[in-house]
């Protein structure tokens, strides 16, 4: 438990330095891949805030990823708002949208909660997909301008690494707070939390909004490194990805989704270069994971470490 | 307002009929989904793939046998056996697991099935001609309307009636409903619950395959037809009320007609209209139009 109780920022700083050091040696393709992985790590962890800590299964988180990306892209291409300001504003818009969506959805549980988040995300998706005059429709927005300082591959990678690691520190702090513990309590036994006088819905809405904020941040970073954005980011198939990442890595731990996001993003980059039947391979990889590693890769590793420690 | 077009009466009738035809196929698929959800408690994301497999199998069998009607019977049966195999081999292990495990496992199966179809049938579109007995068309209020669509329109309510009869008027149906309420008590009474669940799952798969086989002569088959149907089926099930057969019929009619008029009046918002309907139902009446507020699934 030493890793958790000591100060964490030196670890994060070390990771950032290693990542930045690596970026000097990696070819461009890998820099882009690594930057995408970092964004997806942030997306998966912010998703796990509501999945792992409060047991809500959202099926519409692509919406917040897309809102973050679109707000930045629209501000940067259509207005003269300073780019850094647009960068900072976009996650807040995603967070506020999440608060509104969360207000409606938290009245439901389980599959119905999932379906209502799906409904909202598909409404936003259709808006982006059909409103050609404003969002570019299904052509998306291409050639998004980025601030000069982070225009080159090397510098945008450093920027993405810094922002994601700082965000992860904030999120780690958040998940160790009494606030998160309250929500975990709700996942375990919702009636009991009501009995001790806690109005859970307010907690859930706040957590949903925070999750939306950081998903939006991941979306802004993704639009920065790709310089383009498409409505597909908000489609339900994108929303399904963080679910798979969290489950693959294990949603019971903070770092589980990191493993899931890296593995998933890596597979999605690599597999199609080897075979057009990459979905088949991905499915066959997922099946035993679901059946035999119920708590994901991280859960499996923890289990084997624990049982060895006991001997 | 250039994106709103006002059509004449025959177009309206045609559009209504098209919407209803679509609704009936959607109902047949969704009734299987709601049956599996209500009895086995499985959120079966794989259902759309079973529908797609039904359509492709029907296509191949119809070409091979030279007879659509034989294919219409055989393809769903083949799909049902495939479903039974999957239930015994995989799904049975996760009945007690949470929603996420079910989503993930069935999603993995979706990925596998989609590439298997691509491997076997190839990525090109496939067309099957409507069977000759019902190939003609009739005229309703000046609109030409294919007989085959009329056949499907009659079939939907027939399937609903059949399922209702099975669930409420037969001993086997009573057992199925009892299992939906309390598995343990039923097993204490000496009934092999696991076998019943397998059979119910197979019945659900049969309905998915049947929907696909009915769809085969109506649209060009393609390897993405699973994803749109699974989302629409879930919408139908949620709008109607989880586990409710008549709810699924009502939900399918609402969704089918909304979609078909949406396409005609405001093509740009047709895609979103069905999600708006579901959103409103979930906010106003979360347990669905025909569901019960205290249903254990609605929490």
Please compute the mean of the pLDDT values over residues B166-171 and round it to a whole number.
90
Query: Could you tell me the CA-to-CA distances from B185 to A37, B170, B178, B199, B281 in Å, in that order?
Result: 49, 19, 8, 19, 34
* Residues of B with Cβ-Cβ distance to A111 under 8 angstroms: 43, 99, 238, 242, 297
Tell me, what's the pLDDT at A102? 92
Chain A contact for B235 (CB, 8 A cutoff): yes
Q: How far apart are the first and last CA of chain A?
A: 18
Q: In chain A, what residues touch B268 (CB-CB under 8 Å)?
A: 130
Q: Is B227 on the interface with A (CB under 8 A)?
A: yes
Residue A232 sits at the chain B interface (C-beta within 8 Å): no
Phi, psi of A145 (to 5 degrees): -70, 145
Q: Tell me the pLDDT tens digit for each residue of A5-52.
A: 456 777 777 877 887 777 777 787 788 888 899 999 999 999 998 888
Structure tokens at B7: 């059509």
Give the minimum alpha-carbon distance from B51 to chain A in angstroms, rounded to a whole number.
18
Q: How many CB atoms lie within 10 A of CB A4?
A: 9
- Residue range A189-239, pLDDT digits in tens: 666 766 776 777 888 898 999 999 999 999 999 998 888 888 888 888 888
pLDDT of residue B23 exceeding 60, the answer is yes
Burial of A21: CB neighbours in 10 Å, binned 0-12, 13-18, 19+: exposed
Residue B202 pLDDT more than 90?
yes
Task: With beta carbons less than 8 A apart as the criterion, state whether A192 and A172 touch.
Answer: no
Q: With an 8 Å Cβ cutoff, is A284 touching chain B?
A: yes
Q: Are A68 and A144 in contact (CB under 8 A)?
A: no
Model confidence at A188: pLDDT above 80: no
Chain B residues with CB inside 8 Å of A110's CB? 99, 297, 299
Mean pLDDT within B266-285 = 84
Residue B53's nearest CA partner among B88, B23, B83, B87 is B83
Between CA B14 and CA B149 the distance in angstroms is 11
pLDDT of residue B298: 40
Average pLDDT over residues A92-101: 94
Number of neighbouring beta carbons within 10 Å of residue B283: 14
Report which of B28, B245, B243, B255 is spatially closest to residue B156, judged by C-alpha positions. B28
Residues of B in contact with A278 (CB under 8 A): 115
Mean pLDDT of B71-100: 88
CA distance B187 to B179: 9
ipTM: 0.82
Q: How many Å apart are CA A166 and CA A173, to the nearest integer? A: 11
Partner B contacted by A277 (CB < 8 A): yes
Per-residue pLDDT, B1: 42
Confidence label for A4 from pLDDT (cuts 50, 70 and 90): very low
- H runs (alpha helix) in chain B: 9-39, 47-65, 68-89, 99-121, 147-169, 171-181, 183-188, 193-215, 225-240, 245-265, 270-284
- Rounded Cα distance between A168 and A183, Å, is 19
- Among the residue ranges A24-28, A74-78, A94-98, A254-258, the one predicted with the least confidence is A24-28
pLDDT band at B140 (very low <50, low <70, confident <90, very high): low
CA distance A264 to chain B (A): 13
The CA distance from B40 to B60, in Å, is 31
Between helices B9-39 and B171-181, what is the axis angle to 10°?
A: 70
* CB of A3 less than 8 A from some CB of B: no
Given CB atoms, is B116 within the 8 Å cutoff of chain A?
Answer: yes
* pLDDT, greater one: B15 or B296: B15
Contact A272, A257 (CB under 8 A): no
In 10 A of CB B132, how many CB atoms?
8
Interface of A with B in 79-118 (CB under 8 A): 104, 107-112, 114-116, 118
The string of pLDDT tens digits covering residues A281-294 is 888 888 887 777 76
Report residue A2 as tokens. Answer: 């030493």
Statement: residue B2 has pLDDT above 90: no
B224 vs B226: CA distance, rounded Å: 5
Predicted confidence at residue A203, as pLDDT, reads 83
Q: What is the pTM of this model?
A: 0.86
- Comparing CA positions, the residue from B140, B120, B151, B132 lying closest to residue B55 is B120
Using a CB-CB distance cutoff of 8 angstroms, which residues of chain A are in contact with residue B90? 287, 291
Rounded CA-CA distance B51/B40 in Å is 19
Q: Which residues of B touch A187 (CB under 8 A)?
A: none
CA distance A287 to chain B (A): 6
How far is A173 from A295, CA to CA, in rounded Å? 23
Is the model more confident about B77 or about B190?
A: B77
Q: What pLDDT does residue B142 have?
A: 64
In this complex, is the C-beta atom of B283 within 8 Å of any C-beta atom belonging to chain A? yes
CA-based nearest distance A94→chain B, Å: 20
Nearest to B149 by CA among B212, B57, B217, B220: B217
Question: What residues of chain B, 50 to 69, have a C-beta less than 8 Å from chain A?
Answer: none
Q: Residue A37: enclosing H or E segment and its boundaries?
A: helix A28-51
* A122-164 confidence digits (pLDDT tens): 889 988 888 777 777 777 888 888 887 777 777 888 888 888 9
Q: What is residue B79's predicted lDDT score, i.e. its pLDDT?
A: 95
Give DSSP secondary structure letters for A218-241.
HHHHHHHHHSEE-GGGGSHHHHHH
All residues at 6 or more sequence positions from A243 whose CB lies less than 8 Å from its CB, including other chains = A47, A51, A57, A59, B100, B103, B104
Nearest by CB to B104, from A109, A247, A276: name it: A247
Most confident of A40-44, A103-107, B106-110: A40-44
Mean pLDDT across chain B, nearest whole number? 85
Q: What is the pLDDT of residues B212-234, one digit of tens each?
A: 999 888 888 888 888 889 989 99
pLDDT at A3: 42
- B145 bridge partner residues: B138
Mean pLDDT over A266-280 rounds to: 83
Rounded to 10 degrees, what is the CA torsion of B90, B92, B93, B96?
Answer: 140
Choose among A143, A289, A214, A246: nearest CA to B105: A289
């Amino acid at each position: 438990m030493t890793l958790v109780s000591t100060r964490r920022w030196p670890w994060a700083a070390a990771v950032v330095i290693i990542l930045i050091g690596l970026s000097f040696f990696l070819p461009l393709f890998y820099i882009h891949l690594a930057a995408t992985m970092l964004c997806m790590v942030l997306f998966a962890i912010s998703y796990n805030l509501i999945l792992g800590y409060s047991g809500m299964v959202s099926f519409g988180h692509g919406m917040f990823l897309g809102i973050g990306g679109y707000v930045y892209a629209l501000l940067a291409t259509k207005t003269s708002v300073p780019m850094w300001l647009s960068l900072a504003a976009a996650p807040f818009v995603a967070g506020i949208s999440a608060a509104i969506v969360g207000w409606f959805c938290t009245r439901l549980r389980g599959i119905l909660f999932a379906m209502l988040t799906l409904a909202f995300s598909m409404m936003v998706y259709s808006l982006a997909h059909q409103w050609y005059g404003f969002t570019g429709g299904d052509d998306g927005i291409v050639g998004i301008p980025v601030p000069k300082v982070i225009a080159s591959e090397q510098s945008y990678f450093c920027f993405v690494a810094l922002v994601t690691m700082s965000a992860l520190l904030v999120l780690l702090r958040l998940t160790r707070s009494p606030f998160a513990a309250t929500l975990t309590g709700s996942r375990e036994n919702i009636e009991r939390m009501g009995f001790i006088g806690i109005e859970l819905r307010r907690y859930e809405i706040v957590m949903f909004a925070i999750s939306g904020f950081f998903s939006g941040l991941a979306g802004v970073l993704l639009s920065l490194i790709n310089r383009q954005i498409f409505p597909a980011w908000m489609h339900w198939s994108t929303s399904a990805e963080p679910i798979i990442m969290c489950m693959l890595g294990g949603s019971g731990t903070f770092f589980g989704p990191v493993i899931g996001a890296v593995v998933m993003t890596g597979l999605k980059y690599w597999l199609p270069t080897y075979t057009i039947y990459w979905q088949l391979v991905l499915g066959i990889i997922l099946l035993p994971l679901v059946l035999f590693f119920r708590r994901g890769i991280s859960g499996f590793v923890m289990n084997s470490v624990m049982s060895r420690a006991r001997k | 307002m250039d994106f709103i077009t006002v059509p004449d009466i025959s177009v309206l009738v045609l559009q209504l009929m098209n919407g209803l035809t679509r609704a009936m196929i959607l109902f047949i698929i969704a009734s299987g989904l709601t049956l599996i959800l209500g009895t086995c408690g499985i959120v079966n994301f794989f259902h759309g793939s079973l529908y797609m497999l039904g359509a492709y199998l029907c296509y191949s069998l119809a070409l091979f046998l030279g007879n659509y009607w034989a294919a219409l019977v055989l393809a769903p049966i083949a799909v049902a056996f495939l479903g039974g195999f999957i239930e015994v081999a995989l799904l049975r292990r996760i009945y007690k697991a949470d929603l996420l495990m079910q989503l993930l496992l069935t999603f993995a199966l979706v990925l596998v099935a989609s590439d298997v179809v691509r491997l076997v049938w190839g990525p090109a579109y496939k067309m099957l001609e409507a069977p000759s007995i019902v190939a003609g068309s009739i005229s309703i209020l000046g609109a030409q309307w294919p007989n085959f669509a009329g056949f499907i329109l009659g079939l939907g309510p027939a399937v609903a009636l059949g399922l209702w009869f099975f669930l409420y008027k037969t001993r086997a149906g009573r057992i199925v409903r009892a299992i939906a309420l309390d598995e343990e008590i039923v097993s204490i009474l000496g009934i092999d619950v696991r076998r019943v669940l397998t059979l119910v799952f197979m019945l659900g798969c049969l309905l998915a395959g049947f929907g696909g086989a009915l769809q085969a002569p109506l649209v060009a088959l393609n390897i993405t037809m699973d994803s749109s149907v699974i989302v629409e089926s879930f919408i139908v099930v949620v709008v109607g009320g989880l586990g409710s057969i008549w709810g699924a019929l009502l939900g399918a009619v609402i969704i089918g007609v909304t979609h078909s008029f949406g396409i005609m009046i405001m093509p740009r918002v047709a895609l979103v209209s069905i999600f708006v309907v579901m959103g409103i139902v979930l906010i106003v009446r979360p347990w669905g139009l025909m569901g019960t507020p205290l249903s254990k699934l609605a929490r």
